Structure formats: C-alpha cells, structure tokens
Structure 1
Amino acid sequence: MIFSRLFNISRDRCATYPFVAPPTAKVQDQSEDGNHQEQASRPPRTEIVSLFAITVLCAKRLPLNPNRKCAPVVHMLFTMPGYRSQHAKTQKRQTNWPIWQEQFIFSVDPSAKISEGMVHILLEDSSQHKKLGEFWVSLESIMQDGSSTRKFSLGSDDSMSEPSISVAFDTLTEKKSKSHMVSHRKNVYSVLPATLSSSDEEKRHLGAGLFTLLQIAQSSAED
C-alpha cells in the first residue's frame, strides 16, 4: 500500500533528530589589511519549538479477526504550508480492548500558524491487511471546537458498533532544551525536551498505554 510505505519512518531516525543546532564551524574573516583572522567558534544555538499533541481515540470495539484479536496501526501525516511534512505510524500490537488510544506529538516553529495545518489519519488492521478508515482534518476545525475533540465515522463496517474515532488537539509548551529518549514500555518511545522528562505535564499528556512519537519540523521551507 503506497500510503503505508509513505509513513514508514524508523524509530532511530526520530530518536536522533536534533533539538539543538550544531555549533557553527570556525570561519576566517579577512580584515581590511588583507590578514586573515580566525574567529572563535560560536556557542550552540538553542532552538525554541512549539509542541502539540494529536490523540486518536476509538471508544468502540474494533472489528476482530477469528482469533478475537485486532492489530490496529495508525498512520498519520501532518502537513503545513511552507514546511516539510511530518509522518509517522504506530507499531503493530494486538488488542481486544474496547477503548483504544494513540497519541502523536509534533513540533513546529513557534512563528508558524498551526491552525493552517492539515492532518491525514489512516487506521488499519495489520493482522488482516484491512483498512478500517481514513480521513483528512484541519487543525483549525479541531482548535475551534470547544471540547477540542471531533468524531469521524470509519465507514459502514457491520462488525463495528457505531464505528467512529475521536481526534483531539492539545497545545503543549514551548521549551528550549536538548532532547532525550523516554521509554514508557517495551518498544514504546517518545522524544521530548529534557525539561519535561519528569514533570506532571508530561504524565498528563503521555499516560500509560499511549504510543508517542515526536518529529521536529524542519525550519527551512520546501523547495
């Protein structure tokens, strides 16, 4: 499936994506008398990023295979004019829980207008190679909703009771810090500023059972 391949992003790539820009290389400046003067290396430039979370929640039981299991995978694409698209997918895991939830954390330049962003969400059962539903949603429409949550129908699959999922938008905080890895359980990771590593805020947004993934948007505009 083309869409699935588009979202195939490795965990290591996300883990090593830098929050802090590398130190500026030493440069030589030529003075008026023709002599070269070597300038000292500049200190690392700390970038400020705006974090926001998108939570996908299915409050109804997913369609199960004959083994009474479902292996849901969520593919998500975040795109905003002037910036490179960010894409991610959750890891395959089996579940038969009636309430099922995934959370994605993205980051953008603070000067960017997040409300102009669009999100494409695709939900599939990887055990049966079956697409359960997909849709586009604008962040502006979610942000304007008083509850910050919107429901979307997944289709007319009779095996699901009231097939719908909720999408919630939540702005986090602007931080300037180095990044680090936080492991919540086996094969479940998030990348967050170190200043959020043990805060109550992180615990609220990254509760047990959530798959989180952060990828920093590139500050340069697309060619």
Structure 2
Amino acid sequence: MLLHLKAILTPQELRDIRAVLDAADAPWIDGRASAGAQAAQVKRNEQLAQDSPQAARLRGIVLQALQRDPLLFSAALPRRIYNPLFNRYRPEAPAYGPHIDGAVLHSHADGQWVRTDVSCTVFLADPDEYDGGELTIHDTFGVQRVKLPAGDAVLYPGTSLHEVAPVTRGARLASFLWIESMVRSDEQRRILFELDMNVLKLRQQLGETPATTGLTGVYHNLLRLWATP
C-alpha cells in the first residue's frame, strides 16, 4: 500500500527544520557512510550527521508530528519507529539508484533494532525548489513517482525496490525513516486500514448504529488476531 499523508508538519515546524538544514554550519556528510555494501554502490547524496545536536533536535520534531497523525497510525500501526534521518540531494550529490532497504536496522539514537515493514519519506522542500528528485517506487501496485509538497509524507512497503531520480537543479531535502508495524503483513495492514476508513465514513454518515458497532468489533478482532504488540 502506498499512502500520501498531507501536512504532517505544521508550517512553523517546517520553518524550524529548514532553518537548521539550510544553515551554513549544518553538518552534512557523505550519505554512503550509513549505507551497506550494495547500497553504497548506487548512493550519491548527503546526510545530516546522526550524532549531531542538529539531527537530535530535528528527530524530535518529526517524531512528534508522526505520532499525532491518526491516518499514519491507522495505516502503519506502529510498534517501533526508527529514528528519523535527514538527507539532501543536489547536482553535486544527485541520486540514489535502485535498492531495497535492509530488513532490520539498528538505531544509533535509542539502540533499538527495528524491522523495516513500512518506509516513510517526509518531504522538506517544495517541488519548485528543485528539478528531478522523484522518489520512484516499484511494487505490486506498479511504478509510482512521488514528489510531494514540503510537509507532506508518503508511506510505502519496506519491501519495495525504490530509487531517487537525479536532481539537476536546486536541493531536495527530506526526512526518511522506517516503521516496525504491530501487523507484519502489508496485505493485512491494507485490509485493516480500508476497514477502519470505511467504518469511519459510515459513522460520519449514520452516527453510531448497531452495524457500525459490529464492524468496529470486526476490526478489533482482526487486529487482535494479527497484531504483535
């Protein structure tokens, strides 16, 4: 399932993040420093140093934004969230070729191991600030090219082959992270999400009825059957 989340960040949060990332003393390093052997062959970008105070501050802003979003919770059913990272693509470090992220990653921020069920990219630059830079996702739903407004995010399966197209002008800024879900199967998460959204629509249209109560029970019984909290 691929899902566009709108306005994850408030305008003020976005301004605060950009002030840090655009500062002359922002600690950008070679993105290959965090890549595995295969990924390092196709990765050409910059990454904010994970152990910097700037990265620690921005992680807090992004995590707070993610945790207050009900649509993200319904779609991803988070059990653990890998600490958000931040990257930059520009003509000098323009692209990240086709790759699949590691299945389990170790977070330097909190020491946790996180299974990468769901990938998330939060866009921090508007599309008119740069040329190229589309996040291209290859999966059972076809090839999707994603380039969203600043403050918006996209969720997609961690199993997907994906890449970032070369940036030829400007700078593409983003936060990226992974979510270990309480429900490991992407298909099961999709079923739960669709059921949750449709029950919500019925409740808005009809109010609380025996049917909406019954369907809510079906949702929670499926979640009880499939979830590992």
Fold-level match, TM-score > 0.5? no
TM category, shorter: under 0.3
TM-score, reference length from structure 1 = 0.23
Give the helix-richer structure, 1 or 2: 2
Higher share of residues assigned strand: 1
Give TM-score, length-normalised by structure 2.
Answer: 0.22
